[in-house]
Amino acid sequence: MKYLKRFNEAIVDYKSDDVDGLMGEINTYPRHHRFQIEDLTRLGAEYNIEIVDYDTFYKDLSERDKVTAPPRTAQFFALVNRVTNKIRVVLNLPMPFIPKDFFDQVPIGDILKHEQIHTIQYSKRPFETPLPEPKDKKKYFADKDEVMAFAFSVAKEIVTMFPTITTPKEGFDKLIENPRRFRLYGDIKENTDEKTLKRYHKYIFLYLEDLLKPEE
């Protein structure tokens, strides 16, 4: 199969001691703990991750980026602060606290590693790029930065859903055999052309290879 050929291209690293450290710290709290946003902001700062409320996020945006900003109705999202090039988590839950259960239910660690890929991508450029436009899915999923980062997200979903797989071919076969099982991949496939989807396949395979690599 074509996707099994060797690739002479490096993937952007998703590994982050800061992300692992923050998630490890949060996991030390009991299940029913209630975090105040101020507490999470201080905790995130210890690991170079910005955790803010929606008002702070929106106020810091340029007029250009306010046009494509996620709506105020979004309860949680993450992105890269283009000024500091740090991962920024935006929390906008309809309550004065953030329950520990929220972090147990949402794969925040994987989301932050998706953003970690972007921090490396952006650090290599001498110019500031605008926020992506998620509402235009065809343009969003075709963005070269997002292809790489979402390929990681799909690969991580595969290994999480099928913890017994041992090779990237096994994982990739699971994806191709039943793509509807993977919501993100289904969305990508529906909104990309054949050329872009092939790029996704290449990077998904490479990230599977890395995720399944035995620990040293």
Sequence ranges of the domains in the chain? 17-123, 133-211
Choose between 13 and 67: higher pLDDT.
Answer: 13
Please give the distance of CA 33 from its chain centroid, rounded to a whole number: 25
Return the pLDDT at 153.
Answer: 98
> Does the pLDDT value for residue 1 go beyond 50?
no
Phi, psi of 180 (to 5 degrees): -65, -20
> Does the pLDDT value for residue 4 go beyond 50?
no
Return the pLDDT at 191.
Answer: 96
The stretch 4-33 carries a mean pLDDT of 87
- CA–CA distance, 76 with 137 (Å, rounded to integer): 19
The stretch 137-142 carries a mean pLDDT of 93
pTM, rounded to two decimals: 0.90
With vertex at residue 143, the alpha carbon angle to CA 212 and CA 134, rounded to the nearest 5 degrees, is 100
Grade residue 199 by pLDDT with cuts at 50, 70 and 90.
very high
The stretch 152-174 carries a mean pLDDT of 96
- CA–CA distance, 213 with 211 (Å, rounded to integer): 6
